[in-house]
Amino acid sequence: MTYNIIGDIHGRDVWYELVRDDAVNIFVGDYFDPYEPFSFAQVMHNFRMIIDYKRRNPDTVLLYGNHDLHYLLNDPYERYSRYNAEHSYEIRYEFEQVRDLMNGVAYSIGDDVLVTHAGVSKPWYEKWIGSYNDEATGVVARNINDLWDNDMSAFNYGNNSGGIMDRGGMAPTSSPMWIRPGYLKEYNIFTDNDYRQVVGHTQQKNISRMTPKLTFVDCLMFSTKSYVIEK
């Protein structure tokens, strides 16, 4: 089986060039809040095209990112850079309409590769879910998605025990929506086994492998590439 992992979208339509009919296509989230000067109409149209692609290809995986989370939470203290206040209701409504087509915040490829928006640290996992004892990535993904379904606030940037430094992902307990590469590398939940993580969230010039256990795919600002895994 081929898995094709596509980085943060932010309104870009280059995913058209990256999706593969012979693969399970996995989007790591952040569909809105563009860096480029796209209009809201363009960004919404692009998201609807992704949803349409999912309807035509049901094995497509659509994960949420932090730039999706702040519309879902509708919390004035949880609004991040480029938050579209003018159209926030429309975006939230759009997400509500396609809830059944989304795949939560974690996806397991086989039993040894975990895909999330930003990555999973052991301190965050053990704070919100429980001790980690080398369970396979499928178990970890299921536990994380169960938490998402029951307590979305566990993933925001102001509800973790590291204080103000959690804001922006700069703490060991930062969530799978937020944690930044340095902290993910140091506190990787899979430090003591051979499992791997594939994440977006932090921009790269190209697909980037920080360590044998961490691959970063948020490169669409600079290069039209996806990350392919054969299983």
> What's the pTM value of the predicted model, to 2 decimals?
0.95
CATH number at residue 169: 3.60.21.10
Residue 167 is predicted with a pLDDT of: 54
The DSSP H or E segment spanning 6 is strand 2-6
Q: Give the total number of structural domains in the chain.
A: 1
Residue 84 has a CB neighbour count (10 Å cut-off) of 18
| Domain range for 206 | 2-230
User: Taking 70 as the threshold, does the pLDDT of residue 159 lie above it?
Assistant: no
Residue 78 is predicted with a pLDDT of: 66
CA angle (117 as vertex; 211, 158 as ends), nearest 5: 110
User: Taking 70 as the threshold, does the pLDDT of residue 174 lie above it?
Assistant: yes
pLDDT per residue as tens digits for the range 9-52: 999 999 999 999 999 999 999 999 999 999 999 999 999 999 99
Determine contact, residues 174/125, Cβ cutoff 8 Å.
Answer: no
SS (H, E, C) 96-136: HHCHHHCCCCEEEECCCEEEECCCCEHHHHHHHCCCCCCCC
Quick one: average pLDDT of 126-154?
97
State how beta strands 106-109 and 113-116 pair: antiparallel
Quick one: average pLDDT of 60-85?
83
DSSP string across 14-70 = THHHH--TTSEEEE-S--SS-SS---HHHHHHHHHHHHHHHHHSTT-EE---HHHHH
pLDDT per residue as tens digits for the range 101-128: 999 999 999 999 999 999 999 999 999 9
Residue 161 is predicted with a pLDDT of: 47
